[in-house]
A and B are shown apart, each in its own frame.
Chain A
Amino acid sequence: MAMFKKLLKQLNRDKVRRGDEYEIELSSKMSITVETIQNIVGESDDVIQREIKIGHKIPATLFYIESLCDRLTLEEYVLKPLLHLPAKDAPAVITDRFITSLQEEILTLAEIRVLDSIDNAILQFMSGKTLMVIDGLKRLIILNTIGYEDRAIEEPESEVVIRGPRDGLNENLKTNMMLLRRKIRDPNLTIQVGSLGRRGKRPFAICYMKGIANEQLVEEVRYRISCVDTDDVPATGSLEEYIQDDVLSPFPQLFHTERPDNCVRGLLNGNVIILLEGTPFALMAPVTFHQLLISSEDFYERWLLATLIRILRYAASFIALFLPALYIAMNSFHQGMIPTTLALSIAGSREGVPFPSFVEALIMEATFELLREAGIRLPRHVGQTIGVVGGLIIGEAAVRAGIVSPIMVIVVALTAISNFAIPGFTVAISFRMLRFALMVAAAIFGLYGVIIAYIAINIHLVGLRSMGSYYLSPFSPYSLQGIKDSIIRLPLNVLRRRKAEPRTLDDWREPRK
């Protein structure tokens, strides 16, 4: 709520619309209040002004936004009771008692509020609620008549699982909160709503489990979000950039997910979830490097399979990061490492290639990145064709033309496949970027360059924090409990404690024996 108050303060300080000269004034005379509201929002054509007489007697004006308001609700639960009110029930002079009876006896709407300030009311009006001005009342009445079209709950495309729930978050904050509430029916699940952006005023929600999440962490998240002061925050990706710890780092310091089950796992682990209106991606804070390589499916499969798949995933990350660099290093510096027969065949296949292996690798990697970017932009069906054309035909043609060697095509393809096997999209991107840095290091210093680059990445990672949590936990700082659920996943009945990061108020998942 602190956030909300801060915004309102700004609203009061600045003029709501710059360049206009008008007074924000709440008067008991309806005409003055109506004029004020017209001054603020009257220029828009979708703002509808409807004048009625409550109980055939008291003049009142309703303002609503056509596109955001549910017309049926308005007609059935607001207009009908008000217009059909018997004249004897309507007093000549508006009293507080009448307003109370309006709320308690007359209107059948779920949410009605009586507000004292125009700023506050306008903020809610802009989200689709109906604003009622009654003659003789120096207050405003807000009626919740929000209703607009929404996307259905669909399976998230960026995080597909075979075995597991298929629901995904969508663009509506309320739906997302519902999805979380339906999975955790614990009164300790706390959802706090605020609004973000000077102009956008998007609602966002901070969700955490009271009694598990560290109060300091929640306070930190709240503080950082309240520091964001900009026109609009269009997506959680933008929010991430404002609130992350290290802007220069190539690694994501907050976790993106479209899956409510991932959010629930985070909540029960003591993380804080940030939901934002208008984006299906939730942010989870804090995150550690190893959590980025975890898929929710790991907990739905049996532990042996999950462990093997995790090891496979770590191997994939290794390949995605190092393979081209290792190829360059071995080809240009340490030919002795390659078995003789293979070395001969590599040399044979590279015979017609005019470039050093670094340039060759750079060409192929850049081509691949290009294909990938093009594949995302193109319509879905054409995109597949581009994949085939790019992957098979261009690769084959490039080999035939003598621009690259066939082994390079294998290296690039293997790297690409491994990159796709990483479940976290954001960490896959950091690997993509670092791969090029490693390739340059390998081209200059061979294996020595690769290892120095690897050490430098590690130095960066030990210094990195995500909302105050160590990024490399559970390996450093070392935690045996954490390692049980990192590269391996032991059976669930062994994982009796929560993860090492973030620190929680209650470390145990199961009652301590």
Chain B
Amino acid sequence: MTPPNRFQKTDPFQIRGVEMAISLIAVILGTGILYLPRELASDLNTPDGWITIILNGLLVMLVVFLYVRLQKHFPGQNLLQIIENQSWGKWPGQVLRGLYIIYFILALAFILRITTVVLQIYLLLQTPTIITGSIILLTTAYAVSKGTQGVIHLNIMFAPISIAFFIIIFAFNFPDAHFQEILPILGEGIGPVFKGFKHTPLVFLGVEIIFFFMAWMKSREVRALPLNVSIGFITLFNVALTLLGYSIFGFQISKSITFPSIELAKELEIPGAFFERIESLVITLWMMSIFNTISTFHLLAVQNIREQFLPRGNTAWITSGVTFIIFMLAFIFPSISEAFLFGGVIMFLEVSLIILSLVCGYLARWTASMHNDRKT
């Protein structure tokens, strides 16, 4: 009996600049906790990893800045559309899209697997990881059914909660921190800092979403500043997380704890509070953040597959197909250490895709301007 909603046609969804910035925080913030500061500690062998994170944050800001400059010339188009609309761009665009699909699906499988391991260690000891993992995937598949608008709005809803999660960890761990652990700063020179780049790009996993979502923004709201403030914010939080990890556990121990950041939550003692061991609560808060990451990637994977292979027709089954593939991939790794090794592959894909996208994008801009010049 309910009449069709005729509003949607007249009221198109748009992402505002602030919303995009909040979305970035929601998507990126949750993943850092999976590898920090363990990988950094073992890569560098000095407690200078936080400098690497700052340097990496600056590089990401540069990427955002470059992409925003590109986006300003092509309002309403996402990166792949920009490339595909050029005369030379059809094949490169499709190859890039194929690579992005592979990247999203692999990254999803990786994040999912590690998340389930965290859940098993800290929240549900006896439930098999396959079950917890499939529940997350089903939930994100439900989120994907709400489309871009739904996923972006979920990011906005949960971002304050993920920020609250970090602030809880910082505020209550601060009194116990021994900051002499991070000294000496640059004790072995600047060299080790660059070794850290082996893993730090994973901290910013998810920055690629701007390549796809900024097409939904009004052209006058396409600005780099709010996005870079978000990146700065994320960098700051991850630096603080690393420093706290070193200063609470000591540098040497940080190398051997699987999830030091979550162990930080375990150390929490709120004086006079009702709850005693708060880590399960903190993990549940973190779940929202990781949910944002997974659902956004899931959406982008589904959307890109749809655009690549089935631009028209009934495509409802794609979500379920993608969900199944991710599920299978996630549980192919026999153990978590192999899953962590797999992180390297994803990071390589991420970095090369970002560089490739920007190069192709600027090439597209160059050819487009040449074309326009010839016309006028």
Q: Could you tell me which A residues sit within 8 Å of B by CB distance?
A: 216, 220, 223-224, 227-228, 242-247, 333-334, 336-340, 342, 445-448, 450-452, 455-456, 458-459, 462-463, 465, 467-468, 470, 472, 475-478, 503
> Which residues from A are CB-within-8-Å of B16?
477-478
Evaluate contact between A244 and B124: CB separation under 8 angstroms: no
Q: Measuring CB to CB, which residues of chain B are less than 8 angstroms from any residue of chain A?
A: 1-3, 5-8, 10-11, 16, 18-19, 22, 119, 123-124, 127, 132, 135-136, 139, 142-143, 145-146, 149-150, 152-154, 156-158, 274-278, 280-281, 283-284, 287-288, 291
Known contacts A339-B276, A475-B156; is A455 also within 8 Å of B139 by CB?
A: yes
Given A445-B124, A478-B16, 10 more contacts at CB 8 Å? A245-B2, A245-B5, A337-B280, A339-B276, A447-B280, A448-B127, A448-B287, A452-B139, A475-B156, A477-B156
Shortest distance in angstroms between A475's beta carbon and chain B's nearest beta carbon?
Answer: 6
Once A447-B284, A465-B7 are accepted as A-B contacts, the answer to whether A456 and B278 lie under 8 Å apart by CB is no
Which B residues lie within 8 Å of A242 (CB)?
Answer: 1-2
Query: Complex Cα distance A455/B146, Å?
Result: 13
Q: Which of A216, A242, A455, A463 has the most CB of B within 10 A?
A: A455
Q: Do the beta carbons of B276 and A478 come within 8 Å of each other? A: no
A464 to chain B, nearest CB (A): 10
Query: In the complex, A343→B277 CA distance in Å?
Result: 12
CA distance A446 to B136 in the complex (A): 14
Contact present for A333 and B124 (CB under 8 Å): yes
Q: Tell me which of A224, A243, A337, A455 contacts B288 (CB under 8 A).
A: A455
Say yes or no: B18 contacts A478, CB within 8 Å.
Answer: yes
Would you call B19 and A459 a contact (CB within 8 A)? no
Tell which of A334, A342, A456 touches B280, judged by Cβ atoms closer than 8 Å: A334
A462 touches B119 (CB 8 A): no
Given A445-B127, A445-B135, A477-B156, A455 contacting B291 (CB threshold 8 A): yes
Would you give 10 A-B contacts (Cβ < 8 Å), ordered by A?
Answer: A220-B6, A223-B3, A336-B276, A336-B277, A337-B276, A446-B124, A459-B146, A459-B154, A462-B146, A477-B153
Does B132 lie within 8 Å of A462, measured CB to CB?
no
A260 to chain B, nearest CB (A): 28
> Which of A336, A451, A472 counts the most chain B CB atoms within 10 A?
A451
User: A residues within 8 A CB of B123?
Assistant: 334, 446-448
Closest to A340 in B: B276
Cβ of A478: which chain B residues have Cβ within 8 Å of it?
Answer: 16, 18-19, 22, 156
Task: List the A residue with the shortest CB-CB distance to B156.
Answer: A476
Quote the shortest CB–CB distance from A240 to chain B (angstroms): 11
Cα distance A456–B142 in the bound complex, in angstroms: 8
Q: When A and B form their complex, which 6 residue pairs have the shortest distance between CB atoms, in order from nearest?
A: A468-B7, A476-B153, A462-B153, A476-B156, A463-B146, A451-B284
Q: Given the interface contacts A477-B16, A478-B18, does A247 sit within 8 Å of B7 by beta carbon?
A: no
CB neighbours of A228 from chain B (8 A): 1
Contact, CB under 8 Å: B284 / A448 = yes
Q: Is the CB of B287 within 8 A of A451?
A: yes
Closest A residue, CB atoms, query B126: A333
Q: Which residues of B contact A333 (CB under 8 A)?
A: 124
CB distance from B45 to the nearest CB of A (A): 35
- Our pick among B2, B5, B145, B274 for the contact of A468 (Cβ within 8 Å) is B5
Most buried by A among B145, B280, B281: B280
CA distance A445 to B123 in the complex (A): 9
Residues of B contacting A477 in the complex (Cβ-Cβ under 8 angstroms):
16, 19, 153, 156
- A468-B11 contact given A448-B287, A462-B154, CB 8 Å threshold: yes
**Contact call A467/B276, Cβ cutoff below 8 A:** no
Whether the pair B124, A448 counts as a contact (CB closer than 8 A) is yes
Q: How far is the CB of A339 from chain B (nearest CB, A)?
A: 5
Give the residues in chain B near A339, CB-CB below 8 Å: 274-276
Could you tell me the distance in whole angstroms from the C-beta of B350 to the nearest C-beta in chain A? Answer: 26
Residue from A224, A468, A477 having most chain B Cβ neighbours under 10 A: A477
Query: Are A459 and B5 touching (Cβ within 8 A)?
Result: no
B136 touches A452 (CB 8 A): yes
B146 neighbours in A (Cβ, 8 Å): 459, 462-463
CA gap between A244 and B10 in the complex, in Å: 19
A465-B156 contact given A337-B281, A448-B132, A448-B287, CB 8 Å threshold: no
Contacts of A468 in B (CB 8 A): 5-8, 11
Please name the residue on chain B nearest to A216 by beta carbon. B10
Interface centre among B150, B153, B156 (most CB of A within 10 A): B153
Whole-angstrom CA separation of A216 from B1 in the bound complex: 20
Closest CB-CB distance, A490 to chain B, in whole Å? 19
Residue of B nearest to A475 (CB): B157
Closest beta carbon of chain A to B153's beta carbon, Å: 4
- With CB as the reference atom, state the residue of chain B lying closest to A338: B276
Taken together as a complex, chains A and B put the C-alpha atoms of A220 and B278 apart, in Å, by 49
Residues of B close to A243: CB separation below 8 A: 2-3
Q: Is B124's CB under 8 angstroms from A216's CB?
A: no
A224-B7 Cα distance, complex, nearest whole Å: 12
B residues within 8 A CB of A472? 153, 157
Across-interface contacts of B135 in A (CB, < 8 A)? 445, 448, 452
Q: How far is the CB of B270 from chain A (nearest CB, A)?
A: 11
Q: Whole-angstrom distance between the alpha carbons of A27 and B235 in the complex?
A: 88
- A residues less than 8 Å from B22 (CB atoms): 478
Chain B residues with CB under 8 Å of A462's CB are 146, 149-150, 153-154, 157
Q: Which residue of A lies closest to B135 (CB)?
A: A452
- Check A459/B139 contact, CB under 8 A, given A339-B274, A476-B153: yes
Query: Which residues on the A side are within 8 Å of B284 (C-beta)?
Result: 447-448, 450-451
- Complex Cα distance A476/B14, Å? 12
Contacts of B19 in A (CB 8 A): 476-478
Q: How far is the CB of A500 from chain B (nearest CB, A)?
A: 11
Task: Pick the contact of B143: A244, A247, A459 (CB < 8 A).
Answer: A459
- Flag if A244 contacts B288 (CB, 8 Å): no
Q: Is the CB of B280 within 8 A of A467?
A: no
Contacts of A338 in B (CB 8 A): 275-276
In the complex, the chain B residue whose C-beta lies closest to that of A451 is B284
Contact residues in A for B10 (Cβ distance below 8 Å): 216
CB-nearest residue of chain B to A459: B143
Chain B proximity of A444: nearest CB distance (Å) = 9
Cα A472 to Cα B287 in complex, Å, equals 21
CB A205 to nearest CB in B, in angstroms, measures 20
Complex alpha-carbon distance, A455 and B22, angstroms: 18
Q: Are B18 and A451 in contact (CB under 8 A)?
A: no
Q: How far is the CB of A2 from chain B (nearest CB, A)?
A: 15
Contacts of A227 in B (CB 8 A): 1, 3
Which chain A positions have C-beta within 8 A of B143? 455, 459
CB distance from B244 to the nearest CB of A (A): 22
Within the assembled complex, what's the spacing in Å between the Cα atoms of A244 and B288? 30
For the complex formed, measure the closest distance between the CB of A480 and the CB atoms of chain B, giving whole angstroms: 8
Instruction: Report whether A448 and B119 are in contact in the complex, using a CB–CB cutoff of 8 Å.
Output: yes
Query: Which residues of chain A are within 8 angstroms of B139 by Cβ–Cβ distance?
Result: 452, 455-456, 459
Which residues on A sit within 8 Å (CB–CB) of B1?
Answer: 227-228, 242, 247
A503 contact set on B, CB distance < 8 A: 11
Contact partner, A247, options B2, B276, B283, B291, Cβ 8 Å: B2
CA distance A477 to B15 in the complex (A): 8
Q: Which residues of A contact B156 (CB under 8 A)?
A: 475-478
Q: Chain A residues near B8: list those with CB within 8 A.
A: 468
